[in-house]
Chain A
């Protein structure tokens, strides 16, 4: 059974800092890995999707990498801003079906 872990559970940084969020998964047979942002009381917004054949994806200040062999993905946020404060979730899609397995998320606070 796939298990997805995100460390740390919470992170507080000053504005402008570059930061890395970590996601690890136990079964490397994944279809893709997706990073989401969730604001308090809101739904999930997709940030980046990395297919199993890809190593990284970039969108603006965000860069996500995928290393299937080690079971890890990272989300790099450059020049963090207070508006980046949210919970970031990663989810691995299994190859045998349509299920996404989610981590519990990293709650990010960017202080002005």
Chain B
């Protein structure tokens, strides 16, 4: 099993450009999440999905959109990138909400917006 994979690993964007980050998991998990990690801020939840075709806002959703067209994939889109979106983005997945279910994380995407 590959677990949770993310593409790309690195990306540099100019202000105003758009891009899509792809997350894929092969564990048949229902729940998927997008986080961003910034120095001094820890990891913060951007959006999440509780199943195919569903999405929900997290703590810091502004400037991002997501889609979950297939159970195994969760896409994070930036329509008009801003320097404040420079961060490391992590995708995670889990079976569900039960207290015994861990979240499994991908390796991250390092995004720089100039």
Contact = CB atoms under 8 A, between A and B. Distances in A.
Nearest to B45: A99
A103 interface: yes
Interface residues of B, number: 26
Interface in A9-56: 31-32, 34, 36, 41-46, 49, 51-53
A102 B100 contact: no
Contacts of A93: 99
Interface in A65-103: 89, 91, 93, 97-100, 102-103
B99 A43 contact: no
B64 interface: no
B61 interface: no
Chain A: interface secondary structure? Answer: strand
Contact of A32 (B43, B58, B100): B100
Interface stretch (B12-20, B78-86, B101-109): B101-109
A52 B107 CA distance: 28
Contact of B104 (A46, A52, A91): A46
Given A42-B108, A89-B43, 5 more contacts: A43-B90, A43-B108, A49-B102, A51-B99, A53-B99
Interface of B: 4, 31, 33, 40-45, 48, 50, 58-59, 90, 92, 94, 97, 99-100, 102-108
11 contacts: A42-B107, A43-B90, A43-B105, A43-B106, A45-B105, A49-B102, A53-B99, A98-B31, A98-B48, A102-B42, A104-B42
